[in-house]
A and B are shown apart, each in its own frame.
Chain A
Amino acid sequence: GAVVSQHPSRVICKSGTSVKIECRSLDFQATTMFWYRQFPKQSLMLMATSNEGSKATYEQGVEKDKFLINHASLTLSTLTVTSAHPEDSSFYICSATRDYEQYFGPGTRLTVT
């Protein structure tokens, strides 16, 4: 199967700082990547769709100025949580598409203190 990595796997930051999470497709090129967040015991919530070379499309209710997404290449998308607050603490997961299949990264646990 295809492999998607995320970095870091875990991050703790102070309130008001920004955090960048990287998502990479290691063995395939992905024109489209997705970013999700997941709260404990809940399903994944789609935040945004990231297309290489164009602006991300955000889901309703997701602040695009707070969650900055950059899809700079066919193997890399980044999510930057700006001015993080404790309520942003969550599990962030990316996925990358190969044909009709979507492969997920291992997730990044963000804790904002």
Chain B
Amino acid sequence: QKEVEQDPGPLSVPEGAIVSLNCTYSNSAFQYFMWYRQYSRKGPELLMYTYSSGNKEDGRFTAQVDKSSKYISLFIRDSQPSDSATYLCAMLTGANSKLTFGKGITLSVRP
């Protein structure tokens, strides 16, 4: 079993839809949870960063962490064509430690 599993894609939605992206993990040592967005031929961009269980909101994005179930999610409201990208969940055990990534899911938002 991989340490981090991410729902496979690709995912295609119409503009304005709510998107739900999910990852599960098996390592209880993970304490910090991130979502990155990567456009084609670019480096990943840090979207959201959370530590504790619960929800964290930033504009149209909400990150959710459930440590008891070892499950994290990213919700995108009112999705836009510019949200079309690959989304990667990633986790850390501590400061300056290695990121463990999910495989990534490619999202396409149709106009």
List residues of A whose CB falls within 8 A of some B CB: 1, 4, 6, 31-32, 34, 43-44, 46, 49, 91, 93, 95, 97, 99-107, 109
Contact = CB atoms under 8 A, between A and B. Distances in A.
B46 A34 contact: no
Contact of A107 (B36, B43, B99, B104): B43
Contacts, number: 53
Given A102-B92, A105-B43, 12 more contacts: A34-B98, A43-B102, A44-B44, A46-B99, A91-B41, A93-B44, A95-B99, A100-B49, A100-B94, A102-B99, A103-B46, A106-B42
A110 to B, nearest CB: 13
A43 B101 contact: yes
Given A1-B46, A105-B43, A107-B43, A100 B99 contact: no
A104 B44 contact: yes
Contacts of B98: 34, 46, 49
Contacts of A44: 44, 88, 101
Contacts of A34: 98-99
A5 to B, nearest CB: 10
A31 B101 CA distance: 21
B42 A97 contact: no
